[in-house]
Structure 1
Amino acid sequence: MRVTTDLWVSALVRRVFGAGGFAAIVKRGATEAGAVFVLSRGRLGEVALYGPAPQTSYDSAKPDERFFTLLDSSDDSSAFDARLEREKKFDPDIWVVEIEAGADPVEELLSVKAE
């Protein structure tokens, strides 16, 4: 059984804070389900956007795990804001979480798959 998005996001926020980072829920989506997008901000101003991985990335041995893919990275966050606005228009149930990873890199906080 897959955990609710609300519970999964809460666990992510706790893991980020536990690693000495910072996390904030920018947009709260549907409690039970909803795509999760993660904005990762580095200490030097770099920004990366992670989104749900394509269905082909899922492993039948781990059907309940959430996988992410790096959608884009840049020093300019305005492009990400525009992309997230388009995603919200397409699916109003999305979640947006912004993090500044602490001791753990983003790849240890999220299950990131290469495209």
Structure 2
Amino acid sequence: MRLKSEIWVKAYLRRCQYNGAPCVVARHGDDDAGAIFIKVVRTGGTAAVFSPAPAGLDDADIDRRWVSRFKGEFVPEAEAEAMLKREASFDSDIWIVEIEDREGRHFLGDELMK
């Protein structure tokens, strides 16, 4: 059984803060099952976005797994914002967690699918 979105986000925020990366919930989604998007902002105006892996890949139905939304991972921040705005326009339940880290760390570890 998968953790509720709210619980996962709270734990993820602690993980980022523990590692010295400022982070905020930029958009609060559905507490139980809202999709979570992670936006990592680096200095220089670039950002990466990680979204839930499609259902059916490995054990993505049970554990949370992530994929990069952009091939090169980091794109101009405006491009990342536009993509997140489109996602929110057709799914009002999404969460957006924003991390500022000059190194571009996402803290997703083994949960990130290549």
> TM-score over 0.5 for the alignment?
yes
In the other structure, the counterpart of 1:70 is: 68
The alpha carbon displacement at 1:101 in A equals 4.4
Runs of 4+ in 1 over 4 A off after TM superposition: 101-104, 107-110
| Separation in structure 1 between the aligned mates of residue 67 and residue 89 of structure 2, nearest angstrom | 21
Does the Cα contact within 8 Å between 1:30 and 1:94 map onto a contact in 2?
yes
In the other structure, the counterpart of 1:51 is: 51
| Separation in structure 2 between the aligned mates of residue 104 and residue 49 of structure 1, nearest angstrom | 11
- Superposed counterparts of 1:35-114, under 5 Å: 35-59=35-59, 63-72=61-70, 73-101=73-101, 105-106=105-106, 108-109=108-109, 111-114=111-114
Look up the equivalent residue of 2:10 and give its one-letter code: S
In the other structure, the counterpart of 2:12 is: 12
Q: TM-score, normalised by structure 1?
A: 0.83
The RMSD of aligned alpha carbons is 2.4
Unmatched runs of 5 consecutive residues or more in structure 2: none
Q: 1:28 to 1:109 in 2, by over 3 A?
A: farther
In the other structure, the counterpart of 1:26 is: 26
**Number of equivalent positions:** 112
Q: Secondary structure at the match of 2:11?
A: helix
The alpha carbon displacement at 1:20 in A equals 1.1
Q: TM-score, normalised by structure 2?
A: 0.84
The alpha carbon displacement at 1:89 in A equals 1.4
- Identity among equivalent pairs (%): 29
Unmatched runs of 5 consecutive residues or more in structure 1: none
